[in-house]
């Protein structure tokens, strides 16, 4: 009855999870894509967040989190800032980029804090404070994929609240080139008549402008860059 093995295993695992979550209702359980070989919708009933991959490299995570978002909500994906050189890929990425990728899911840190420089420790404080502000948008807002990491050098995605009065945009560039192009960012699904202010720069746009014209990012000057934009409606 080899054909029944996977089905029986799944039912047995669910039975165990039912017991654990019933007996310990105050524990926030986290699933793992690899450790238990289980990462499905039924699993999410018992564990509302899961570790999507042991690959913590920020650039690899662009593909992992983009692909996972096709089936699962952002609030389910735990994503961590890890050390560099990365343990899986050996890649060295900026702390800000690692933070922006991790803040696009359920933020955490997976590194030895005693090995961080004073400047990096300040960055951790800044990232945690920023994430506390944007967490409702990331974990409970609407997620829109703007540019796929599977199709080009740039990746972009956005989060909006229900009435589109608040927007959070992340953009990522992978490899710099000798003649880097200017990256145009366009948003989707906004209310055209709303007036939005960029929280950091205080620039003002209409929803129609952000959708049809967007804005241009300066050409890349190094590999593995990221940007975070936060807009709030003024009307």
Let me know if 151 is a catalytic residue. Answer: no
Q: How far apart are CA 46 and CA 158, in angstroms?
A: 28
The token pair that represents 88 in the structure block = 């899986």
Length of the chain: 235
118 membership: H or E segment, kind and range: helix 118-140
Catalytic residue among 120, 122, 203, 222: 120
> Beta strands 195-198 and 225-233: pairing type?
antiparallel
Let me know if 40 is a catalytic residue. Answer: yes
**Residue 102: exposed, middle, or buried by beta-carbon count in 10 A (0-12, 13-18, 19+)?**
buried
Catalytic residue among 40, 54, 142, 222: 40
**Residue 94: exposed, middle, or buried by beta-carbon count in 10 A (0-12, 13-18, 19+)?**
middle
The torsion angles phi and psi of 82, rounded to 5 degrees, stand at -120, 175
Active site residues: 40, 120
């Amino acid at each position: 009855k080899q054909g029944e093995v996977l089905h029986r295993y799944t039912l047995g695992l669910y039975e165990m999870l039912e017991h654990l979550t019933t007996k310990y209702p105050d524990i926030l359980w986290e699933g793992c894509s690899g450790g238990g070989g289980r990462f499905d919708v039924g699993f999410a009933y018992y564990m509302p967040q899961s570790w999507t991959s042991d690959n913590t490299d920020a650039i690899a995570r662009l593909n992992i989190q983009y692909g996972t978002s096709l089936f699962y909500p952002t609030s389910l994906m735990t994503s961590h800032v890890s050390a560099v050189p990365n343990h899986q890929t050996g890649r060295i990425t900026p702390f800000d980029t690692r933070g922006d990728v991790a803040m696009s899911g359920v933020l955490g840190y997976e590194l030895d804090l005693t090995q961080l420089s004073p400047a990096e420790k300040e960055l951790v404080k800044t990232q945690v404070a920023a994430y506390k502000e944007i967490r409702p948008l990331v974990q409970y807002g609407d997620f829109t994929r703007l540019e796929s990491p599977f199709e080009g050098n740039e990746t972009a995605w956005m989060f909006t609240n229900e009435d589109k009065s608040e927007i959070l945009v992340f953009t990522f560039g992978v490899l710099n080139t000798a003649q880097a192009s200017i990256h145009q960012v366009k948003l989707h699904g906004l209310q055209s008549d709303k007036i939005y202010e960029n929280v950091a720069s205080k620039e003002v746009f209409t929803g129609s402008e952000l959708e049809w014209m967007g804005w241009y990012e300066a050409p890349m000057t190094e590999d593995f860059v990221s940007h975070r934009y936060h807009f709030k409606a003024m009307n």
